[in-house]
Amino acid sequence: MVTDVVMVYKKDSSRDVNSEIRKGLENNFKDFCVCSVKQLDSIVVGVQNDSHFLLEGEFGDFIGALNDGAEIEVDGFCQRYVGNNMTRGEIVVSGSVGDGAGFGLRGGNIVIKGNAGDAVGQLNKGGVILVDGDIRDSSGLFMLHGDIIITGNAGSETGEWMVGGTIYVGGDFELGFNAKTANMANRDITKLQNLFSKYDIDADPSKFTKIVHDKTRPFYGDE
Amino acid sequence: MTNEKRIMNAGYIWNTETIKQVRHNARTGEYSLRGFGAERQIKTFDDVIILPGQASVAPVDKYREKCDTSVTLGTRFCDNPLELKTPVLIAGMSFGALSKSCKLAMAKGSAMSGSAANTGEGGMLPDERTMADNLVVQYSSGRFGVSSKYLNSGDAIEVKVGQGAKPGMGGHLLAEKVSPDIAEIREIPEGTDALSPCRFLDAPNDGDLAKHIELIREVTDWKIPIILKLGPGRIDEDVKIAYEAGADIISLDGMEGGTGAAPEVVIEQTGVPTLPALNQAVSTLEEIGAKDDVDLIITGGIRNGGDVAKAMAMGADAVYVGTGAMIAMGCIGCRLCHIGKCPVGIATQIPELEEKCNIDIAAKQVANYINAMTEEAKMLAQLAGHSDIKNFNRSDLRALDTETVAQTDLKLVGR
């Protein structure tokens, strides 16, 4: 029987894993399963089409970084910088992740079903990062655009030096410099509702706090 | 005459420039900005001379005999190193700091001279890719325009940690200057301040630069060379880290390296001049046995074939020219790049001004400049007895004074 899924397993290096994937992509395979690869970094990076990846186990840094269209489902945990600099596509992690989830995101959705560390969505330029859990400090630093949604608590310096974009927090948080709270508009609630139902998250958007940038602009100071 | 203009009895400490600075600070309450790099008196390649071959070393005939000027850069790990006809490459300068016409002229001129162009950190113009035969794409702290497609369309990737004009500082393109064009190329929302943080915020720990390089390798399938660009700081330690991080090429920008906008105090008071910076980088690489593995591109104040020849003799494998290439295409050196109203259409986004930079003419001038520089360096190599420019070495050089000896470890003239 011919299977449509490319299995990548028991590899010692990121290069081995990614070259197996590259071979599969060149042969027009669309479904991949990656497992038993230790905690390797930089796996399934820079994929430029809408293929589907299932990753099982514990993974290292930069999983799904520079993704450009793929749907990546991680059944397990990732360390730092999951989805770093992603342009397009979707990454869903069932467990928790380390620092820097969605750093420098340009587009697409990153969903973390567990908790995330520091620096969530720093330098976000237009993507969506949704954490169904708690996160730590300095989320949204230098964020230009896009959304960060945290259903649990966020730490200190939330939205520090934001320039644009929006952060929504369901629990407690400490505001960073140049961030302020704003009223949830109907379109905010609809946006969150749609995301929550899409990713099967049980949360009430009306109880969220919206955070936007305050009046200081870099270089100019206060407007 | 107003007090503003009158400067009486200017001395050494309180000289004309210093008094102007104080007056600017007093009037505005702000530090002053400008373009270009450090222009204080420092030791440069002019303080070094090349020894010609005579009886002990036979010169090579410029008219009849060949001298190879081609270079291959980045052979350490990647499959496809840069193959260039000249060791003179165009330095990273962004679309945003420079006009589109200027960027395209650089790309076209680089192709006409067998050199390489560099996107700078502001993303890549589609025509820039088409026009350049060899294009280096930058990956900097702000990651503007960086995507899988972008990295894979480069012939080399330059991970920019810092630059000579403002090492340790990030960059900032004002929202007002983020036009629809720039927003598209940088992949940021229109009218948003474009911030480049002063360090890689996603590389906080030791070893993280190596992880970025590994990430880029995996995205590009180990095909193209990775350059790590450093500003001039603790060069010995930084170069070691760049080597250990797995770069194929290290590019080092001395304090004369130019910029579109930086505070005067930063330009003039920070960094290490190019000449001693190069010496320190080369001796560090030799000390750790890495000189043959990794290639070194030196940049910052490289003006002519003499500078190229001396840099290569000191251990550089290639050079970048930035300011020189701008001057070649018509820059008048007003140092007002930061204002954005460049009178010759180079450092501006104003369409009427940009029109003054004709892509074809500017490209031809850049190509001529690089060709002439290459020819100058080649001539110097031949008279020093080399039939390959890469054979230049330290024994071909002498320092003109003891201070230069101390900064370069070269022998003194007449000794």
Interface predicted TM-score (ipTM) of this complex, two decimals: 0.95
What mean pLDDT, rounded, does chain B reach?
Answer: 95
Q: Per-block average pLDDT, block size 10, for chain A (223 residues)?
A: 80 95 96 93 97 97 98 98 98 98 97 98 96 98 96 97 95 96 97 98 97 80 51
Of the pLDDT bands very low, low, confident and very high (cuts 50, 70, 90), residue B188 is confident
B79 close to B106: Cβ distance less than 8 angstroms: no
B143/A46 Cβ within 8 A: no
A119 close to A154: Cβ distance less than 8 angstroms: no
Q: How far is A165 from chain B (nearest CA, A)?
A: 10
Q: What is the DSSP string of B133-186?
A: SSEEEEE-TT-TT--HHHHHT-SEEEEE---SSSTT--EEE-GGG--HHHHHHH
B123 close to B93: Cβ distance less than 8 angstroms: no
Crossing angle of helices B359-383/B100-112, nearest 10°? 40
Cβ-count burial of B102 within 10 angstroms (0-12 exposed, 13-18 middle, 19+ buried)? buried
Domains (range + CATH), chain B: 31-170+198-408 (3.20.20.70)
Mean pLDDT score, B380-392:
98
Mean pLDDT score, B236-251:
98
Cβ-count burial of A36 within 10 angstroms (0-12 exposed, 13-18 middle, 19+ buried)? exposed
Q: Looking at A109-118, B129-138, B213-222, B337-346, which range is the least confident one?
A: B337-346
What pLDDT is recorded for position B176?
76
Q: How far is B338 from chain A (nearest CA, A)?
A: 13
B174/A42 Cβ within 8 A: no
Tokens read off for B299: 């940049």
The SS3 assignment for A194 reads helix
Residue B369's nearest CA partner among B103, B46, B112 is B112
The residues of A whose Cβ lies within 8 A of any Cβ of B are: 14-15, 18-19, 22, 41-43, 45-48, 61-62, 65-68, 80-81, 84-85, 87, 100, 103-104, 106, 119, 122-123, 125-126, 141-142, 144-145, 163-164, 217-219
Q: How far is B189 from chain A (nearest CA, A)?
A: 7
Interface test with B, best of A21, A103, A142 (most B CBs within 10 A): A142
Q: Which residues of A touch B195 (CB under 8 A)?
A: 123, 142, 144, 163, 218
Q: What does the buried/exposed string (b/e) look like for B202-220 if buried means 16 or more CB atoms within 10 Å of the residue's CB?
A: bbeeeebbbbbbbbbbbbb
What pLDDT is recorded for position B321?
98
- At B108-138, the pLDDT tens digits run 999 999 999 999 999 999 999 999 999 999 9
Mean pLDDT score, B297-318:
98
What pLDDT is recorded for position B252?
98
Mean pLDDT score, B195-208:
94
Element (H, E) at B319: strand B318-321
Residue B233's nearest CA partner among B197, B290, B276 is B276
Residue B287 pLDDT > 60 = yes
- At A169-190, the pLDDT tens digits run 999 999 999 999 999 999 999 9
B67 close to B388: Cβ distance less than 8 angstroms: yes
What pLDDT is recorded for position B1?
43
Cα-Cα-Cα-Cα torsion B372, B318, B382, B377, nearest 10 degrees, comes to 30
The SS3 assignment for A126 reads strand
Residue B174 pLDDT > 80 = no
pTM attached to this predicted model: 0.96
Of the pLDDT bands very low, low, confident and very high (cuts 50, 70, 90), residue B190 is confident
What pLDDT is recorded for position B194?
82
Residue A120's nearest CA partner among A87, A156, A89, A164 is A156
Cβ-count burial of B19 within 10 angstroms (0-12 exposed, 13-18 middle, 19+ buried)? middle
Rg (CA), chain A: 18
Interface test with B, best of A125, A139, A212 (most B CBs within 10 A): A125
